[in-house]
Amino acid sequence: MTGGTSGRVLSIDLPADPGRLAPTRERLRGWLHAQGVGEWDVETVLIATGEACANAIEHGYRFAPEGITTLRVELRDDRLEIEVRDHGGWRPTDGDDGLDRGRGRLIMARVMDEATIVGTPEGTCVRLVKRLAASD
């Protein structure tokens, strides 16, 4: 896992390995705390981002044994913008949009202020936005 922080941006290149999800969540948790993000917002962001990363690994690279998912998080004033991008295949099946057999999309939409998913033959980008609660 590579990546770094620069000011109010965190970028992580995540190998398509489910075993890398927990360390990525912990790294994101630490970064959010360092930015002064409140605990409620930290937890909701971790839920949504974890779903997006897990989906990218499971669905984006199901036809390829290796791949990289890029997680980019940017804090702009009271707005957190998150992108999870894979470069894997976009192959919907009959009656399925190819993204999620479970409740991941619904969870992301419920806990974030915005959740959009764009899939192309070159990969998928999940964009999540959270307006942060005022800090005490």
Looking at the chain, the whole-number percentage of residues with pLDDT higher than 70 is 79
What pTM value is reported for the model?
0.83
Tell me which DSSP letter residue 65 carries.
S
Amino acid at 31: W
Give the burial class of 67: count Cβ atoms within 10 A of its Cβ; 0-12 exposed, 13-18 middle, 19 or more buried. Answer: buried
pLDDT digits (tens, 9 = 90+) for 30-39: 999 999 999 9
The predicted-structure confidence for 80-93, as pLDDT tens digits, reads as follows: 999 999 987 655 54
Measured on CA atoms in the order 20, 25, 26, 30, is the torsion positive or negative? Answer: positive
- 114-120 and 123-131 strand pairing: antiparallel
Sorted by where each begins, the domain ranges of the chain are: 2-131
Tell me the fold of 2-131: Heat Shock Protein 90 (3.30.565)
pLDDT at 119: 85
Q: Is 95 exposed, middle or buried (0-12, 13-18, 19+ CB in 10 A)?
A: exposed
Dump pLDDT digits (tens) for 39-98: 999 999 999 999 999 988 887 766 666 788 999 999 998 999 999 999 876 555 444 444
Pairing of strands 79-86, 68-76: antiparallel
Residue 84's beta-bridge partner residues?
Answer: 71, 126
